[in-house]
Chains A and B, each alone.
Chain A
Amino acid sequence: MKFSRLFLVFAALCAFAIAPLHAQEPVTISMVHIFGAENDDRGGLIQAVADEFMLANPGIAIELSSPSTDYIELFNGALLAADQGQAPTIIQVEEGLTQLAVDSGFFVPIGDIANQEQLASLDDLLPVVREYYSIGGTLYSVPFNASNPLMFYNKGMFTAAGIDPETPPTTFEEVLAACAAIMAAPEPPSACMNFPITAWFPEQWIAMQNGLIADNDNGRTARATAVNFDSPEMARIGEWYKAMDDAGYLTYSGTPNDYQGEGISFLSKTTAITINSTAGVSLFQRFSKIQSVDLGIAPLPTPGADAVNGVTVGGASLWVTAGNTPEQTQAAVDFIFFLTNTEHDMAWHQGTGYIPTRISSIDALTASGWFDENPGFAIAVAQLQASAGNVANAGAIMGPSAEVRGVLVEALQSIIDGGETPADALAAAKSRADAILADYNSVVGE
Chain B
Amino acid sequence: MEDSPRFERLWTRTVLVGVVVLSAYLLITEWDGFVRLAAWFWAGLSAAPQSLSNIAAYYAALPFAQLLPSLIIGALVGIGMTWRTIYHTAQPRPILTLLGGGLVGAFSAQILSATIQHCTYLPEVAAAETIGGWVITALSAMMFLVPYWAYLKRAPVSQAGYFRQRGLAYAFLAPTLVSLFVFLYYPSVQTILLSLNARRFPIRTEKFVCLGNYVSLAEDAIYQSSFVTTVLITLAIVTLSLAIALGVAVLASQKVRGASIYRTFLIWPFALSPVVTGVIFLALFRDGQAGLINYVLTSGFGAEVSWLRTPDLARWVIVIASVWNILGFNILFYVAGLQGVPPELLEAAAIDGANKPQRFFSITFPLLSPYTFFLLITNVTYSFYGIYGVVDALTSGGPPVGPAGIYGGATNVLIFKLYEDAFTPGAPIGSAAAQAIILFICIAGLTLFQFRFVESRVTYAE
A residues neighboring B (CB under 8 Å): 13, 16-17, 72, 75-76, 79-80, 97, 99-100, 103-105, 190-191, 194, 251-257, 261, 264-265, 268, 270-271, 398-403, 406-407, 410-411, 413-414, 417-418, 420, 424-429, 431-432, 439-440, 442-445
* Contact (Cβ within 8 A) B198 A442: yes
Known: A399-B200, A413-B398, A432-B404. 14 other contacts (CB 8 A): A16-B28, A17-B31, A76-B201, A80-B202, A104-B203, A191-B288, A253-B282, A255-B395, A261-B282, A399-B203, A413-B405, A417-B310, A428-B403, A443-B200
In the complex, A97 Cα to B287 Cα: how many Å?
31
* Contact (Cβ within 8 A) A254 B400: no
* Contact (Cβ within 8 A) A97 B425: yes
In the complex, what residue of chain A is closest to B206 when comparing beta carbons?
A: A443
B110 CB to nearest chain A CB (Å): 29
* Contact (Cβ within 8 A) B425 A414: no
In the complex, A45 Cα to B176 Cα: how many Å?
46
B262 within 8 A of A: no
In the complex, what residue of chain B is closest to A73 when comparing beta carbons?
A: B423
| 0/1 interface trace, chain B 185-205, chain A, CB 8 Å (1 if under) | 000000000000011111111
* Contact (Cβ within 8 A) B203 A254: no
A402-B424 contact, Cβ under 8 Å, with A254-B395, A414-B405, A432-B404: yes
A96 CB to nearest chain B CB (Å): 8
In the complex, A191 Cα to B402 Cα: how many Å?
25
In the complex, what residue of chain A is closest to B405 when comparing beta carbons?
A: A410
In the complex, A398 Cα to B425 Cα: how many Å?
11
List, sorted by A's number, 17 A–B pairs whose CB atoms are closer than 8 Å: A100-B425, A252-B288, A253-B287, A254-B286, A254-B307, A255-B308, A261-B286, A270-B290, A406-B424, A407-B404, A413-B399, A414-B402, A418-B400, A428-B404, A432-B405, A443-B203, A445-B205
* Contact (Cβ within 8 A) B288 A418: no
Q: Which of B200, B206, B307, B394 contacts A440 (CB 8 A)?
A: B200
Q: Which of A72, A253, A410 has the most CB of B within 10 A?
A: A410
B207 within 8 A of A: yes
A399-B403 contact, Cβ under 8 Å, with A254-B306, A444-B205: no
* Contact (Cβ within 8 A) A443 B409: no
In the complex, A443 Cα to B198 Cα: how many Å?
6
B201 CB to nearest chain A CB (Å): 8
In the complex, what residue of chain B is closest to A101 when comparing beta carbons?
A: B425
B31 CB to nearest chain A CB (Å): 6
| 0/1 interface trace, chain B 293-306, chain A, CB 8 Å (1 if under) | 00000100000101
- B contact residues around A443 at 8 Å (CB): 198-200, 203, 205-207, 428
A63 CB to nearest chain B CB (Å): 16
Q: Which of B202, B286, B288, B396 has the most CB of A within 10 A?
A: B288
In the complex, A100 Cα to B309 Cα: how many Å?
32
* Contact (Cβ within 8 A) B288 A251: yes
- B contact residues around A261 at 8 Å (CB): 282, 286, 290
Q: Which of A105, A191, A256, A399 contacts B426 (CB 8 A)?
A: A399
- B contact residues around A420 at 8 Å (CB): 402-404
B347 CB to nearest chain A CB (Å): 53
* Contact (Cβ within 8 A) B288 A270: yes
* Contact (Cβ within 8 A) A254 B287: yes
In the complex, A290 Cα to B428 Cα: how many Å?
46
Q: Which of A104, A271, A442 contacts B288 (CB 8 A)?
A: A271
B320 CB to nearest chain A CB (Å): 15
- B contact residues around A271 at 8 Å (CB): 288
B97 within 8 A of A: no
B332 within 8 A of A: no
In the complex, what residue of chain A is closest to B401 when comparing beta carbons?
A: A418
* Contact (Cβ within 8 A) A256 B424: no
* Contact (Cβ within 8 A) B400 A410: yes
- A contact residues around B420 at 8 Å (CB): 406
A293 CB to nearest chain B CB (Å): 14
A410-B304 contact, Cβ under 8 Å, with A251-B288, A252-B288: no
* Contact (Cβ within 8 A) A414 B426: no
In the complex, A407 Cα to B404 Cα: how many Å?
6
List 3 A-B pairs, minimum CB-CB distance, nearest first.
A254-B308, A410-B405, A429-B404
A417-B309 contact, Cβ under 8 Å, with A97-B425, A400-B427, A410-B404: yes
A92 CB to nearest chain B CB (Å): 14
In the complex, A83 Cα to B398 Cα: how many Å?
34
In the complex, what residue of chain A is closest to B202 when comparing beta carbons?
A: A79
A273 CB to nearest chain B CB (Å): 13
B residues neighboring A (CB under 8 Å): 27-28, 31, 198-207, 282, 285-291, 298, 304, 306-310, 314, 394-396, 398-406, 409, 420, 423-428
* Contact (Cβ within 8 A) A252 B287: yes
Q: Which of A264, A407, A424 contacts B405 (CB 8 A)?
A: A407
- A contact residues around B394 at 8 Å (CB): 255
* Contact (Cβ within 8 A) A428 B203: no
In the complex, A80 Cα to B423 Cα: how many Å?
11
* Contact (Cβ within 8 A) B286 A414: no
* Contact (Cβ within 8 A) A264 B290: yes
B1 CB to nearest chain A CB (Å): 35
In the complex, A271 Cα to B288 Cα: how many Å?
8
* Contact (Cβ within 8 A) A426 B287: no
B225 CB to nearest chain A CB (Å): 13
In the complex, A191 Cα to B314 Cα: how many Å?
21
* Contact (Cβ within 8 A) A268 B289: yes
- B contact residues around A103 at 8 Å (CB): 203
* Contact (Cβ within 8 A) A251 B404: no
- A contact residues around B401 at 8 Å (CB): 418
- B contact residues around A191 at 8 Å (CB): 288
* Contact (Cβ within 8 A) B425 A410: no
- B contact residues around A411 at 8 Å (CB): 400, 403-405
In the complex, A366 Cα to B428 Cα: how many Å?
47
In the complex, what residue of chain B is closest to A405 when comparing beta carbons?
A: B424
- B contact residues around A251 at 8 Å (CB): 287-288
* Contact (Cβ within 8 A) B403 A427: yes
Q: Which of A191, A257, A261, A418 has the most CB of B within 10 A?
A: A418
Q: Which of B28, B308, B394, B409 has the most CB of A within 10 A?
A: B308
In the complex, A99 Cα to B202 Cα: how many Å?
12
- B contact residues around A257 at 8 Å (CB): 396
* Contact (Cβ within 8 A) B425 A402: yes
Q: Which of B27, B204, B287 has the most CB of A within 10 A?
A: B287
- B contact residues around A100 at 8 Å (CB): 202-203, 425-426
- A contact residues around B286 at 8 Å (CB): 253-255, 261, 265
* Contact (Cβ within 8 A) B402 A428: yes
* Contact (Cβ within 8 A) B425 A255: no
- A contact residues around B206 at 8 Å (CB): 443
- B contact residues around A76 at 8 Å (CB): 201-202, 423, 425
- A contact residues around B400 at 8 Å (CB): 410-411, 413-414, 417-418
- A contact residues around B304 at 8 Å (CB): 190
- B contact residues around A194 at 8 Å (CB): 288
* Contact (Cβ within 8 A) B426 A401: yes
- B contact residues around A424 at 8 Å (CB): 403
Q: Which of B287, B298, B427 contacts A402 (CB 8 A)?
A: B427
In the complex, what residue of chain B is closest to A190 when comparing beta carbons?
A: B289
A445 CB to nearest chain B CB (Å): 6
In the complex, what residue of chain B is closest to A401 when comparing beta carbons?
A: B426
Q: Which of B28, B199, B202, B396 contacts A256 (CB 8 A)?
A: B396
In the complex, what residue of chain B is closest to A439 when comparing beta carbons?
A: B428
In the complex, A418 Cα to B409 Cα: how many Å?
11
- B contact residues around A253 at 8 Å (CB): 282, 286-288, 290-291, 308
